[in-house]
């Protein structure tokens, strides 16, 4: 039987702070396939997340189909807005929500990984990060700083990940990021520069696939996922409407769930996808293929 086998692989999933989003679902799928899992979590959310784990509040969510429970080798503090600790403004360093976490920059997390697992102890990196302080504003009303903040965390950090983590990878290493259709099409209400950030993320996926593929032999892909009403996505005021609209108009009328994205991620991270790189892989029940909304049920083509 042809299967996905990630035994002996170590994955880092950046951007997990609860059990509701795509990042957590991907972690479970990779763990189910045999990989060991490390997380990178935003420092202000890290304490709450670890308390939930310690108090057993996530016991059910951690359960794998095999009956085993997913565990995390390490949970590192990470603020992907900063490449090094020298980049962190003084007011952030002095913020109590960041105190006690040490070096929470991208390079700081890389240093900790190297200390814990050696200079080449990584196989898979998942970029499940997105942030736009002005996401509820139309793009035309977004400030320069709001736009740059969205691009910096949601897109540029993936470039920094490849630059920093690719040299730490075993042969066959691969990167995966999460995008959304707003990088290709206008989605009213998805503002604050997030649409621009997703477009940049997808363009960078293609360029990085070439550059990093030739330099380090790693693969770079992205998944363009359908909308999901996670806690993080609740910042987009119309997320429930987006979910309903997708379900009503996608070629497949089935329910879309994070596990759909997770299964695609496991495939892309596996040797089965050894020749797949530079790809934006749509996992959205086919909605991206549609050019017109389905207005009436009686317009559905018959099987005749």
Give me the catalytic one of 76, 147, 156, 190.
190
Q: What's the sign of the alpha-carbon dihedral 130, 123, 258, 23?
A: negative
CB atoms within 10 A of CB 2: 5
3-state secondary structure of 144: helix
| Contact in structure between 163 and 113 (CB atoms under 8 Å) | no
Q: Is 98 a catalytic residue?
A: no
Alpha-carbon span 113 to 181, nearest angstrom: 33
| DSSP character string of 16-78 | --SSSSHHHHHHHHHHHTT-EEEEEE-HHHHHHHHHHHHTTTTHHHHB-TTS-B---SEEEE-
- Contacts of residue 28, Cβ cutoff 8 Å, sequence gap at least 6: 62, 64, 70, 259, 262
Residue 243, burial from CB neighbour count under 10 angstroms (0-12, 13-18, 19+):
middle
- Is residue 245 part of the annotated active site? The answer reads no
| Catalytic-labelled residue, pool 98, 156, 180, 287 | 180
**What residues are labeled active site?**
180, 190
């Amino acid at each position: 039987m042809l299967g996905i086998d990630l035994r002996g692989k170590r994955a880092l999933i950046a951007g997990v702070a609860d059990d509701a989003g795509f990042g957590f679902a991907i972690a479970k799928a990779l763990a189910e396939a045999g990989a060991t899992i490390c997380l990178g979590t935003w420092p202000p959310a890290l304490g709450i997340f670890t308390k939930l784990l310690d108090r057993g509040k996530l016991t059910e969510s951690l359960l794998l189909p095999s009956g085993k429970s997913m565990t995390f080798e390490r949970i590192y503090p990470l603020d992907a807005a900063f490449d090094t600790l020298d980049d962190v403004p003084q007011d952030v360093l002095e913020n109590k929500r960041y105190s006690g976490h040490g070096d929470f920059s991208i390079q700081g997390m890389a240093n900790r990984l190297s200390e814990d697992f050696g200079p080449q102890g990584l196989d898979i990196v998942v970029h499940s990060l997105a942030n736009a302080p002005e996401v509820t504003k139309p793009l035309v009303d977004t400030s320069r700083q709001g736009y740059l903040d969205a691009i910096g965390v949601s897109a540029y950090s993936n470039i920094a990940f490849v630059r920093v983590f690719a040299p730490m990878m075993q042969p066959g290493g691969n990167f995966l990021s999460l995008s959304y259709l707003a990088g290709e099409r206008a989605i009213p209400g998805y503002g604050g520069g997030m649409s621009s950030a997703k477009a940049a993320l997808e363009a960078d996926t293609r360029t990085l696939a070439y550059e990093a593929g030739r330099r380090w032999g790693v693969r770079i892909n992205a998944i363009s996922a359908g909308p999901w009403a996670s806690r993080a996505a609740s910042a987009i005021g119309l997320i429930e409407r987006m979910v309903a609209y997708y379900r009503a108009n996608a070629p497949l009328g089935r329910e879309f769930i994070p596990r759909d994205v997770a299964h695609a991620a496991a495939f892309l991270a596996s040797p089965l996808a050894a020749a797949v790189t530079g790809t934006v892989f749509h996992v959205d029940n086919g909605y991206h293929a549609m050019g017109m909304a389905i207005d009436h049920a009686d317009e559905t083509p018959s099987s005749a």
